[in-house]
Amino acid sequence: MSKPLPNKQNVNNPSLGWLLSRVTRLWRGVISQAVNPMEMTEARWSAMMNLKMLGEGTSQHMLATELGIEMPSLTRTVNQLVNLNLVERRPHPSDGRCHCLWFTPAGSECIEMLTGSVNMVRAELTKGISNDELNALFKVLRKLEQNASIMLNKYHEGEK
């Protein structure tokens, strides 16, 4: 019989990283269920919502970076969005090798419906949480994001 790992977390006392990951996974799952009638997969709706956040005219490379995925995965998703007439590719104004993404008129309507669904999910998931609590959580998450970015930059620069 093997011994339990010394630092293994109890299910009733999960690590912060595990809990953040679980909440994110559940949150995304609820959004996926809410937008399922629109025939939106998680890959599609997350690409559309991130394009909205970054702004039309964003390059495919920038969108892939923001989503944390490789270009082939994004290309597959963008191809689907183009085939659904929701997004169009246009050449970058100064770099012919690069494509930028824009919503079509149908895509603009779709992003409005997606935004409404995401806002509804957010409202339901944050029920019973005060604005002060949400603001405090937001500040803590931003600080965690900042610290993680600093650490990753150090690793990329060869520091430890």
Cβ atoms of residues 101 and 56 within 8 Å: yes
CA separation for the pair 74, 27 (Å, rounded): 21
* Segment 101-147, tens digit of pLDDT: 999 999 999 999 999 999 999 999 999 999 999 999 999 999 999 99
Integer CA distances (angstroms), 42 to 28, 138, 147, in order: 7, 23, 27
Per-residue pLDDT tens, the chain, 160 aa: give them: 445 545 554 555 668 889 999 999 999 999 999 999 998 999 999 999 999 999 999 999 999 999 999 999 999 999 999 999 999 999 988 887 889 999 999 999 999 999 999 999 999 999 999 999 999 999 999 999 999 999 988 887 876 5
Q: pLDDT at position 1, please? A: 47
Tell me the whole-structure pTM to 2 decimals: 0.81
pLDDT of residue 12: 57
Q: Measured on CA atoms in the order 130, 132, 135, 140, is the torsion positive or negative?
A: negative
* Amino acid identity at 58: T
